[in-house]
């Protein structure tokens, strides 16, 4: 595996692949790698000749009182995992290389930015879009892979690529879960053993809501029941059932449903979602 922190050296290496007509898949991460990330790497290997993974903890997507300074740094282990999974290139820049002096960009996002996680974390998705666009400009991938767990982020990135007419194919990887059902996340390591057991209730409650919906139970009642269940275990941020393609209210034309939720367990913010097709549509 080749490791770069310099933009120019990275681009020279990637140009050498392109000269051999090799395609490039890109998996952007903030490190703290786990099986969820590695599943994206494996998907990337199916989609292109060469795989580039970035590890960069992006300061612009962290809000006030969030965990930027404490975000897990497991670089040595991350490198070993990427080598074991036959990644071709690791890009591990510092902030000055991603955001050089004078760098400024304001990416126009649609109304999806301000709901759900965007309402709880003002400016977060502007920071995400900014760093993803910058990394796209550096790597110039043919395909980029993102996880479904950050579903709102996935849709925002797809819309950004469309709005800016970027020639990049965005693919998504399924959520990888622990045996308990808890969605894998770098922040899970903040949880104690007992908290991890409690955290598994998030997916259980979302899945019960899904089953109730598929059994034609009234949606408002299902959501209220889920809220009460979640509030028994967590501090609730939100739970919504929306059109999976637009993150707007479900209509008669909605084909795919998204159940999305964010909760706090102590200081740890957990997000999860279930995406499924509606019956008889």
Cα gap 92→10, rounded to integer Å: 10
Q: Tokens standing for 129? A: 């879009």
List beta partners, residue 53: 27, 90
Pairing of strands 89-91, 2-4: parallel
List beta partners, residue 7: none
CA angle at residue 72 from 105 to 41, to 5 degrees? 70
C-alpha distance from residue 197 to each of 38, 92, 207 (Å): 24, 34, 17
CB neighbours of residue 248 within 10 Å: 12
Active site residues: 37
Pairing of strands 89-91, 143-147: unpaired
Q: Tokens standing for 110? A: 């649609």
Cα gap 37→48, rounded to integer Å: 17
C-alpha distance from residue 104 to each of 6, 62, 127 (Å): 19, 17, 12
């Amino acid at each position: 595996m080749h490791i770069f922190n310099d933009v120019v050296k990275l681009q020279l290496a990637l140009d050498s692949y392109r000269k051999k007509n090799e395609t490039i898949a890109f998996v952007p991460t903030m490190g703290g790698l786990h099986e969820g990330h590695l599943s994206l790497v494996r998907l990337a290997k199916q989609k292109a000749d060469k795989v580039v993974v970035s590890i960069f903890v992006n300061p612009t997507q962290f809000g006030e009182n969030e965990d930027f300074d404490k975000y897990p740094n497991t670089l040595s282990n991350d490198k070993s995992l990427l080598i074991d999974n036959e990644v071709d290139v690791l890009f591990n820049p510092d902030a000055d290389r991603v955001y050089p002096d004078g760098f400024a960009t304001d990416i126009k996002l649609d109304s999806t930015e301000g709901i759900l996680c965007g309402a709880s974390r003002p400016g977060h998705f502007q920071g995400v879009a900014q760093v993803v666009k910058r990394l796209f400009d550096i790597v110039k991938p043919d395909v980029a892979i993102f996880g479904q767990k950050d579903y709102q982020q996935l849709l925002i990135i797809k819309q950004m690529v469309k709005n800016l007419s970027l020639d990049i194919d965005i693919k998504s990887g399924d959520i990888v879960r622990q045996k308990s059902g808890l969605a894998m996340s770098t922040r899970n390591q903040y949880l104690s053993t007992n908290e991890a057991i409690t955290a598994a209730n998030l997916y259980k409650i979302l899945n019960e809501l899904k089953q109730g919906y598929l059994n034609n139970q009234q949606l408002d009642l299902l959501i209220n029941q889920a809220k009460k269940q979640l509030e028994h275990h967590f501090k609730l941020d939100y739970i919504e059932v929306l059109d999976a393609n637009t993150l707007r209210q479900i209509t008669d034309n909605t084909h795919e449903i998204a159940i999305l939720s964010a909760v706090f367990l102590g200081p740890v913010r957990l997000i999860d979602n279930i995406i499924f097709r509606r019956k008889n549509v």
